[in-house]
Amino acid sequence: MPIRNKLSKLQTLNPSLTRDPREEILKKTVKFTALAAASTLAISMVGIVNAPASLAAAKPKVCLALDTGGIDDHSFNASAWAGAQSVQNKATVSYVVADANNPDYTGEVKSLVDAKCDLIIGVGFLITSAIDAAAVANPNIKFAQVDDPGLVNGKAVPNLRGLTFATNQSAFLAGYLAAGYSKTGKVATYGGINIPPVSIYMDGFARGVAYYNKQKNKKVVVLGWDTTKQDGTFVGGFSDSNKALQISKNFEQQGADVIFPVAGGLENATAGESVTSGKSVTIGVDSDMWGQVTDAKVKAVILNSVTKGVGASVAAVIKDVAAGKFSNVQYVGTLANKGTGLAGFHDLARKVPAVLQQEIRSLAAQISSGAVDVTK
């Protein structure tokens, strides 16, 4: 199937840019030439919307290859797009989104290569292989990949930068928080797919609970993840809200009163169950979930969120390209550099004991200094 057909369902967004007044003069003098050029551009740029030519010459063209879910997934896609939008004064930015029913990551990335983007950023672990292959085949284009170290066959590539995050550090804090907050002595976590960017959260969470137990001589149980087997409960994807809801209900039936979903926008299904049942609270993932939702009832069941600085890392690499300072040195977001963290207690702040809040702040400092190892 031709690439154009495969990408026919990709979503696009037209960046809002101010029109250059000189364009009106150009229209009058080269009207037919301009129309012909515009038509050619529109046909060749399937899945992408670009800035006016008068501005494109002055700014690098940055294109995001997003995984399924779109920019309104309340998770890493949304964060990445927000980061790109924050630096639109330095670059023209656009994106394509993989079709959830037929994700064609190779075709998605190829569409951006064909569009002659100056920087292509892959957002989503499943896009990694397509980004790696394109980076090797197109040394004159710069690439960045979220949730991957930027290595191909274990070797660095000059035009590819990895954007990674030590989210197990902040998830460790969330596990400690969940254990300290729980009234039933049972907490839970589940993921979308068992891939490193997902399991790192779940493992950190479980180890944070274990650390709480050790410090407090408690026996809080974690459902959904086994640190020894490195396996647990998974939806099988990031779009099946019914399955996510059923998993959440099962956890509640087993006694869990704090649930940490690591499945992008499926966290909304868990929070919805928390509202309906009144038996649990939810910890959000990737972005500050409390700030993403508008329903006051949902806000009231969000204990906290484990954040990943995807937006900040995307903005940083765009700035580097605009300044001519692109580097393939891997970015690692940590608690120390605020590349990951806890968003805040918001509506539930009064229900989290002050002593527990202070312990979490102290623990964060110990993790940052290396005094506490979150992998053990």
Looking at the fold, whether 149 and 198 belong to one and the same domain comes out as no
- Choosing from 110, 141, 165, the residue where a domain stops is 165
User: 96-100, 250-254, 297-301: which range is least confident on average?
Assistant: 96-100
Span 94-114, average pLDDT: 94
Looking at the fold, whether 84 and 31 belong to one and the same domain comes out as yes
Q: What's the pLDDT score for residue 220?
A: 98
Looking at the fold, whether 139 and 271 belong to one and the same domain comes out as no
Domain that holds residue 240: 167-308+345-369
CA–CA separation, 325 and 323 (whole Å): 5
The residue written with tokens 């994106």 in the block is: 95
Looking at the fold, whether 52 and 137 belong to one and the same domain comes out as yes
Looking at the fold, whether 8 and 148 belong to one and the same domain comes out as yes
Looking at the fold, whether 101 and 174 belong to one and the same domain comes out as no
CA–CA separation, 360 and 210 (whole Å): 14
Looking at the fold, whether 204 and 142 belong to one and the same domain comes out as no
Q: What's the pLDDT score for residue 3?
A: 41
Looking at the fold, whether 71 and 121 belong to one and the same domain comes out as yes
Looking at the fold, whether 44 and 115 belong to one and the same domain comes out as yes
Establish if 317 belongs to a structural domain: no
Establish if 105 belongs to a structural domain: yes
131: domain CATH number is 3.40.50.2300
- Choosing from 165, 199, 224, the residue where a domain stops is 165
Q: What CA–CA distances, in Å, run from 267 to 79, 176, 242?
A: 15, 20, 12
CA–CA separation, 94 and 103 (whole Å): 19
Q: Which residue(s) pair with 341 in the sheet?
A: 307
Looking at the fold, whether 154 and 205 belong to one and the same domain comes out as no
Span 176-181, average pLDDT: 98
Residue 80 and residue 146 in contact, taking contact as beta carbons nearer than 8 Å? yes
Establish if 45 belongs to a structural domain: yes
How confident is the model over 189-224, as pLDDT tens digits? Answer: 999 999 999 999 999 999 999 999 999 999 999 999
Establish if 72 belongs to a structural domain: yes
Q: What CA–CA distances, in Å, run from 296 to 48, 259, 291, 355?
A: 36, 19, 11, 27
Q: How many structural domains are present in the chain?
A: 2
Looking at the fold, whether 74 and 178 belong to one and the same domain comes out as no
Residue 170 and residue 204 in contact, taking contact as beta carbons nearer than 8 Å? yes
How confident is the model over 47-102, as pLDDT tens digits? Answer: 344 444 444 446 999 999 999 888 888 778 889 999 999 999 999 999 999 998 89
User: 36-45, 204-213, 332-341, 342-351: which range is least confident on average?
Assistant: 36-45
User: Are β-strands 155-156 and 151-152 bridged in parallel, bridged antiparallel, or unpaired?
Assistant: antiparallel
**Quick one: 219 exposed, middle or buried, by C-beta within 10 A (0-12, 13-18, 19+)?**
exposed
Q: What's the pLDDT score for residue 33?
A: 38
Between helix 167-181 and helix 354-369 the angle, nearest 10°, is 160
Establish if 301 belongs to a structural domain: yes
Establish if 329 belongs to a structural domain: no
Q: Looking at the whole model, is its pTM more than 0.85? A: no
Establish if 288 belongs to a structural domain: yes
- Return the structure tokens found at 61: 């063209």
Looking at the fold, whether 229 and 92 belong to one and the same domain comes out as no
**Higher pLDDT among residues 38 and 324, named by residue:** 324
Establish if 243 belongs to a structural domain: yes
Residue 308 and residue 198 in contact, taking contact as beta carbons nearer than 8 Å? no
User: 12-26, 48-62, 208-222, 357-371: which range is least confident on average?
Assistant: 12-26
CA–CA separation, 83 and 345 (whole Å): 23
Q: What's the pLDDT score for residue 51?
A: 42
CA–CA separation, 108 and 65 (whole Å): 7
- Choosing from 127, 143, 165, the residue where a domain stops is 165
